[in-house]
Amino acid sequence: MKIYYIITLFLLSSIAQAQIVNIPDANFKNALLNHSPIIDTNGDGEIQVTEAEATLIITIEHKGIQSLNGIQSFVNLEDLNCHDNSLTVLDISQNQNLKKLRCSWNQLTNLDISQNLNLELLVCYHNELTNIDVTQHPNLEELWVSINPLTSLDVTHNSSLKKLHCDSTQLTSLDVSQNSNLEGLSFKDTQFSNIDVTQNFKLRYITFSNANLTHLDLSQNPNLIALDCYNNQLIYLNIKNGNNINMPYMDAENNPNLQCIKVDNVVNANNRQCYRGDPMVGWCKDATASFSEECVLGIDEQNLATFDLFPNPAKDILIIKAKETPELIQIYTTTGMLIRTTSNTTLDISDLASGLYFLSASIQGKSITKKFIKS
């Protein structure tokens, strides 16, 4: 009988141990034990499987955590905030109810969210991510991937997306044509040379400062209230969207090639003061740029005559002659629509309709634009 009781106690103890979540990282375990709202509801200094399963929200910022091993037991978790820790790996494959994930300011090199199809918010800026796949996340409304060495990003499957921040990445282009609900877009401190937002009717704010844009058409964005395109290579800027009166902030300064900004009303535009306080208000531009209701795309060719186009007019073949080989060549219509991108200095333009076009060439990091006529 005594042996029976010993065996029974041993089995009960083993079962109890089996119901405790194994959490190897002491900082993670301590954060859970001191979490608010309370996770360790029975106060035994351990996290039971039942306690983990009852948890919907975990907020563990600035805790010095190196591993979230054990998070797999929180199968009903909907909101995880592990911002500013020392994580190099994050396995959330078992947290399939997750709707919000904030894991910024860690050292993650990979983030697999293929099992987290209910995500609505993903904040993973300031990591070491070179890729993030969000193509299976139709409910995603906010995506913050700034300060990562990302080289590509596909958001064409994220029709619910409202906010997208990809500042300080290695992205050079982005297709947002399928994001009709987009309200905020930011890619400052990048090498973007072109962005088409003509399908983003709901856009309210855009931040493109310190990029490499040459053309920006915002004529299809009547809800726009803030535009920051400071320090680019703009030669064409169209903000004539029928609602400039409700756009309190616009910064287009430090665009030395920009001579004309197309607006709804010249008088109203000229009456806007530029004030760099907090908050920033008014409309800011270079003194060399003017407001107009009908801009003609083009710049001063005498000051930027570093390549020649011939023959001009041209019927079938257009040749670029330059001392330095252009890194990038783009052809635009007079309304600023990009129609061709290449690096070839001999261009077949036989398929173009007759008329006036603009050719922009990037030479030694400088964007230079000239006119040509297709005969």
| Per-residue model confidence (pLDDT) at position 366 | 67
Q: Across all residues in the chain, what is the average pLDDT? A: 89
List the alpha helices (DSSP H) in the chain. 2-18, 26-33, 49-53, 266-270
pTM for this predicted structure: 0.77
Residues of the chain above pLDDT 70, percent = 90
Q: Kindly tell me if the per-residue pLDDT of 345 is higher than 70.
A: yes
The token duo for 34 is 């001191």
The 3-class secondary structure across 273-297, one letter per residue, is CEECCCCCEEEECCCCCEEECCCCC
At 25-61, the pLDDT tens digits run 999 999 999 999 999 999 999 999 999 999 999 999 9
At residue 196, the pLDDT reads: 92
Whether the per-residue pLDDT at 334 is higher than 90: the answer is: no
- pLDDT for 168 beyond 90: yes
Averaged pLDDT for residues 322-328: 84
pLDDT band at 3 (very low <50, low <70, confident <90, very high): low
Q: Which residues pair with 142 in a beta bridge?
A: 121, 163
The SS3 of residue 10 is: helix
**What pLDDT sits at residue 358?**
85
Give 178's DSSP letter: T
Sorting pLDDT into bands at 50, 70 and 90, what band is 11? Answer: very low
CATH code 2.60.40 for 307-374: yes
pLDDT at 7: 42
Quick check: 226 pLDDT over 60? yes
Paired residues of 341 in beta bridges: 330
- Residue 245: CB atoms within 10 Å: 9
Domain boundaries, the chain: 213-298, 307-374
On the 0-12 / 13-18 / 19+ scale of CB atoms within 10 A, 145 is buried
Where is pLDDT greater, at 242 or 333? 242
4 Cβ contact partners less than 8 Å away, ≥ 6 residues apart: none
**Does residue 205 sit in helix, strand or coil?**
strand
Q: How confident is the model at residue 361 (pLDDT cuts 50, 70, 90)?
A: confident
In single-letter form, the type of residue at position 336 comes to G
Residue 351: pLDDT band with limits 50, 70, 90: very high
Buried b (16+ CB within 10 A) or exposed e, 215-228: bbbbebbeebebbb
Q: What pLDDT score was predicted for residue 201?
A: 96
> Confidence class of residue 16 from pLDDT cuts 50, 70 and 90?
very low
Token pair, residue 62, equals: 């600035």
Q: What is the pLDDT of residues 271-306, one digit of tens each?
A: 898 887 767 678 999 988 889 888 765 444 444 447
Confidence of residue 328 (pLDDT cuts 50, 70, 90): confident
pLDDT at 193 (0 to 100): 84
The pLDDT score that the predictor gives to residue 365 is 64
Per-residue pLDDT for 244 more than 50?
yes
Residues 206-223, mean pLDDT to the nearest whole number: 94
pLDDT at 296: 64
- Write down the pLDDT at residue 356: 87
| Mean pLDDT across 83-94 | 98
pLDDT tens digits, one per residue of 125-155: 999 999 999 999 999 999 999 999 999 999 9
| Mean pLDDT calculated for residue range 75-103 | 98
Q: What is the pLDDT of residues 67-77, one digit of tens each?
A: 999 999 999 99
Q: DSSP letters of 288-342?
A: T-EEESS------TTTT--EEEESSSBSSEEEEEESS--SEEEEE-TT--EEEEE
